[in-house]
Amino acid sequence: MLKKHKIIALLTTVFVASTIFIGCKKEAEPVTLNFFNWAENIPQSVIDDFTKETGIKVTQSTYADMGEMYTKLTSNSVNYDLVVPSDYMVDRLIKEDRLQKLDFNNIPNFNKIDDSFKKTSVDPKNEYSVPYMSGTIGILYNKNLVKGKIDSWNDLWDPKYKGEVFMLDDKRDALGATLKSLGYSLNTTNKKELDEASKKLKELKTSGNLLAYGSDDLLDKMVAKEASLCVLWSGEGLNLSDEYDYLDFVVPKEGADFWVDSLVIPKNAPHKKEAEMFINYLCKKDPALKIANEIGYTTPQKEAKEEQKDSIKNNPNAYMPKEILEKCETYKFLGDKEKFYEEAYMNAKDN
């Protein structure tokens, strides 16, 4: 009987020890963040360096536009830990109660973000978002094919560029550029102004100037010299103009959309603290500088901006002068009135 009790005691000890061991092993497994970002919007080396420093793994999924991002985020098919929406989408997600408030005790490097990027109209109390990168849209043009100076959205409608214009296939960008060419706000909800912009955008096609609508594919087309003018994002435009001497990029004198991509944490994120650690890391000088230099957009991180080459930080089409910046606007979330833009864009593209 004594032997039997000893065996039972031994088995019990082994079971308890095994349970403790298994539990410890499970806790020791590294956290993996689900990061939802624009395509090609962060160097892989920055993610790898963060993992080496913290042990936290990062799995990145990407999207091509805000509509795709919103659909996937709100479907709840994946619990993302960190997402990178642009201004008006931050506004929408806050209003729909889809984001968590940030604990800035975990993000001390927020003090390295330029004050001009804080307390924005979409997050006036700095509760939900941290600026990641900023930029605008403008015109990328082939210097060997254009005839004269390119400095206005109206250049897209110049008859001498028949069959020579590419346009971003995005309702806010395409209509925004057109509204600015007419002297209107790119956030207007005035039906008369939107109808006028829709008509003018359609004329870009009926006149023969528009070669095609597109997105990322436009980069290769401009490098291949398939058109003279292309409405494009500033990061890609500046990178291409730096790489190819026959290309140049300009923000039109009428102004454009000046946007800020921000880091936000969804309501259902399972790893909030670790996501805040990643945000804090991205606010450091070296990662921010690497991101700005490789991706091509302007950085809100003060120290990183000062470390950039003079050709970048003094480039008026990157860090825009006051007279152009004052004419720029930020896309706003228009709620039910967003349908006005959908209708106007559909009418402009309709044959």
pLDDT < 70 regions, the chain: 1-28, 351
Structure confidence at residue 351 (pLDDT) = 66
Query: Please, where are the H alpha helices in the chain?
Result: 2-28, 44-54, 66-75, 87-95, 171-181, 191-206, 217-223, 234-243, 272-282, 285-295, 302-307, 310-313, 322-325, 338-349
Which conformational region is residue 282 in: left (phi greater than 0), alpha (psi within -120 to 50 degrees), or beta? alpha
How many whole angstroms separate alpha carbon 193 and alpha carbon 279?
A: 40
What's the confidence (pLDDT) of residue 212?
97
| Residue reference for tokens 């889809």 | 98
> What's residue 28's pLDDT?
57
> What distance in Å separates the CA atoms of residue 64 and residue 164, rounded to the nearest whole number?
25
Using DSSP bridges, classify how beta strands 229-233 and 130-142 pair: parallel, antiparallel or unpaired. antiparallel
How many whole angstroms separate alpha carbon 203 and alpha carbon 157?
8
Question: Alpha-carbon distance 277 to 56, whole Å?
Answer: 9
Report all structural domains of the chain as residue ranges with CATH numbers, in order of start: 28-133+260-317 (3.40.190.10), 135-258+324-349 (3.40.190.10)
Which residue type is seen at 337? K
Query: Residue 238 pairs with which residues in a beta bridge?
Result: none
DSSP character string of 271-331: -HHHHHHHHHHHTSHHHHHHHHHHH--B--BHHHHHHS-HHHHT-TTTS--HHHHTT-B--
| Adjacent-strand bridge partners of 1 | none
CA atoms within 13 A on the CB side of 113: 25
Which residue type, as a one-letter code, is found at position 4?
A: K
Q: What is the pLDDT of residue 27?
A: 52
Q: How far apart are CA 52 and CA 287, in angstroms?
A: 13
Contact (CB, 8 A) for 41 and 239? no
- Alpha-carbon span 292 to 304, nearest angstrom: 8
Going from the C-alpha of 263 to that of each of 55, 116, 130, 175, 322, the distances in angstroms are: 21, 17, 5, 27, 26
pLDDT digits (tens, 9 = 90+) for 164-213: 999 999 999 999 999 999 999 999 999 999 999 999 999 999 999 999 99
Query: Cβ(164)–Cβ(209) under 8 Å?
Result: yes
CA atoms of 253 and 270, how far apart (whole Å): 45
Percent of the chain at pLDDT above 70?
Answer: 92
